[in-house]
């Protein structure tokens, strides 16, 4: 099992030890993310996040599990559902390790609300995820889903989530990548 630490280079914006994670930590009973199969083929999961200050986005990442299969697509959407950036369909690679999609052209994001999206074209590949134990928890966190969204669409159609699966995904600012 991959253990995140407080100084982990992936721990910049979204993750279990940052300023936004206390709710996730509390609602999952302080559980570590576990290796679990993607809920269903072509499903997109949207996780809301808020930037308190502008940043230049350098990469998007997802934590792969022990079974690597299929393709995945990660992206960022505006609050209203317009796609800002997408990794495109990329083969899953690297078992029990983070898979980072470094942007060839960094994207400037202003302060505000966004959606971090992840979609997978199969339901057998695994990623590290929190089991929220109830769809009510995922809804309370503000998560949404889209049943047929692989590859990620230009405009998201947000639906109430029916998932207890909260993938370990995140973003990194460009300056964090330079420091690595």
Q: Does any domain span residue 100?
A: yes
Average pLDDT over residues 109-135: 91
Q: What are phi and psi of 121, to 5 degrees?
A: -90, 5
The answer to the question of residue 77 being in a domain is yes
User: Phi/psi zone of residue 145: left (φ > 0), alpha (ψ -120 to 50 degrees), beta?
Assistant: beta
| Residue 4 resides in a domain | no
Asked whether residue 10 is domain-assigned, the answer is no
Q: Which residues on neighbouring strands pair with residue 108, listed in sequence order?
A: 56
Is residue 24 over pLDDT 70?
Answer: no
Enclosing domain of residue 31: 22-179
For 26-60, the pLDDT digits (tens) are 555 567 788 999 999 999 999 999 888 899 999 99
The pLDDT tens digits of the residues spanning 96-105 come to: 999 999 999 9
Residues 6+ positions from 8 with CB-CB distance below 8 Å: 15
As for how many domains the chain has, the answer is 1
* Domain-located, residue 17: no
- Residue 7 belongs to some domain of the structure: no
Q: What is the CATH number of the domain that holds 145?
A: 2.60.120
Q: If you search the block for the tokens 């940052």, which residue do you land on?
A: 18
């Amino acid at each position: 099992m991959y253990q995140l630490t407080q100084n982990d280079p992936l721990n910049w914006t979204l993750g279990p030890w940052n300023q936004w994670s206390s709710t996730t930590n509390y609602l999952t009973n302080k559980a570590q993310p576990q290796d679990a199969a993607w809920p269903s083929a072509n499903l997109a999961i949207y996780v809301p996040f808020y930037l308190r200050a502008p940043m230049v986005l350098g990469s998007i990442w997802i934590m792969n599990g022990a079974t690597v299969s299929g393709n995945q697509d990660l992206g960022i959407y505006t609050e209203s559902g317009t796609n800002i950036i997408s990794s495109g369909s990329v083969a899953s690679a690297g078992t029990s390790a983070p898979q980072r999609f470094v942007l060839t052209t960094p994207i400037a994001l202003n302060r505000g609300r966004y959606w971090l999206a992840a979609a997978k074209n199969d339901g057998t590949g695994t990623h590290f995820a929190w089991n929220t134990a109830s769809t009510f928890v995922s809804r309370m966190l503000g998560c949404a889903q889209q049943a047929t969204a692989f590859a990620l669409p230009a405009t998201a159609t947000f639906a109430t989530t029916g998932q207890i699966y909260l993938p370990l995904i995140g973003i990194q600012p460009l300056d964090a990548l330079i420091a690595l």
